[in-house]
Amino acid sequence: MSWTIYSKNACPFCVKAKEFLKIKGIEFTEKNIEEDAMLKEELLKAVPGARTVPQIFHGDTLVGGFDKLEAYFLSQAL
């Protein structure tokens, strides 16, 4: 299953999320909503009312932000 991170420039939690997945050896697609307005619309369709980034998806499943990403991996390890 693929991983997708919706991000913004200079977002510290976006950087943490990308580094976390890199350390885990997981490839992901980054979609920077500041660099492409269509991506922001895409994000808001997927997560209505999203106010923060990162918004992280595993396949079609919304994981959430960085804290939720860590929790997701902890729950998978159990």
**CA 49 – CA 29 distance, rounded (Å):** 22
**CA 5 – CA 8 distance, rounded (Å):** 10
**CA 8 – CA 22 distance, rounded (Å):** 18
Contact 53, 30 (CB under 8 A): no
CATH number at residue 26: 3.40.30.10
**In terms of residue numbers, what domain contains 23?**
3-77
**What kind and span of H or E run contains 55?**
strand 55-58
Tens-binned pLDDT, residue by residue, of the chain (78 aa): 899 999 999 999 999 999 999 999 999 999 999 999 999 999 999 999 999 999 999 999 999 999 999 999 998 864
Domain count, the chain: 1
pTM of the model: 0.93
**CA 44 – CA 47 distance, rounded (Å):** 5
**CA 41 – CA 20 distance, rounded (Å):** 26
